[in-house]
């Protein structure tokens, strides 16, 4: 997790140096096209690098690279965004997605005596709130991201502990 946070900070600093010469197009707006940042997952104790890109005014693609002590996950989401009346910059969103997970069972002793790594694929859903500050290039979101894994005995079935809080630099 420390590596993910360090990598995210470096990427954000590099993006920030580019902005010093030219303000972000989303700086004075309550909307944005692209955002890059970090998403924390309190339910699983991990963090992700998140990249969100609006392909249309109310439709976005989000890519997540998640890491935690027991493995990692790469997720892609297709999100539909809707304005919340009388709340500029605040939207709610929902949509489907998919992921591939890589898990290391060195922390457990019940499957193969704690030996081995596993991979699984799965389906995701997401529902949440997204807010873009008007005078700064910052986006915050909070969501729930339930998923279903098609993996082995340990990593198969419904998982409701994904979802979290994201902070992203918008440009």
| Domains of the chain as residue ranges with CATH | 2-170 (2.40.160.20)
pLDDT at 86: 93
pLDDT at 20: 40
Mean pLDDT, the chain, rounded, equals 81
pLDDT tens per residue, range 56-92: 999 999 999 998 777 889 999 999 999 999 999 999 9
More confident residue, 116 or 160: 160
pLDDT at 28: 46
Q: Distances in Å between the alpha carbon of 94 and those of 4, 51, 144?
A: 26, 16, 9
pLDDT tens per residue, range 88-144: 999 999 999 999 988 776 655 555 555 567 788 999 999 999 999 988 999 999 999
Output 120-123 pairs: Cβ under 8 A, ≥24 positions apart: 120/149, 120/150, 120/151, 120/152, 120/155, 120/156, 121/149, 121/150, 121/151, 122/98, 122/147, 122/148, 122/149, 122/150, 122/151, 122/159, 123/96, 123/97, 123/98, 123/99, 123/147, 123/148
Q: Distances in Å between the alpha carbon of 79 and those of 58, 108, 125, 157?
A: 8, 35, 9, 23
pLDDT at 17: 44
Cβ neighbors of 43 (< 8 A, separation 6 or more) are 161, 162, 163, 164
pLDDT at 15: 52
pLDDT tens per residue, range 9-29: 455 545 554 444 344 444 445
- Decide: 126 and 114 in contact? Cβ < 8 Å: no
């Amino acid at each position: 997790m420390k590596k993910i946070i360090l990598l995210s900070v470096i990427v954000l600093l590099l993006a920030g140096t580019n902005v010093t010469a030219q303000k972000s197009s989303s700086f004075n707006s309550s909307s944005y096209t692209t955002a890059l940042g970090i998403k924390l997952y309190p339910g699983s104790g991990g963090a992700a690098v998140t990249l969100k890109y609006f392909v249309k005014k109310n439709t976005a693609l989000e890519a997540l690279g998640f890491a935690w002590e027991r493995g990692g996950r790469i997720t892609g989401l297709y999100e539909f965004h809707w304005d919340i009346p009388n709340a500029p910059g605040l939207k709610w969103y929902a949509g489907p997605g998919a992921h591939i997970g890589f898990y290391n069972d060195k922390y457990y002793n019940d499957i193969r005596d704690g030996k081995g790594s596993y991979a699984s694929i799965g389906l995701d859903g997401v529902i949440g709130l997204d807010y873009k500050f008007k005078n700064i290039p910052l986006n915050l979101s909070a969501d729930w991201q339930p998923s279903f894994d098609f993996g082995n005995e340990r990593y198969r079935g419904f998982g409701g502990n994904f979802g979290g809080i994201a902070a992203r630099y918008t440009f």
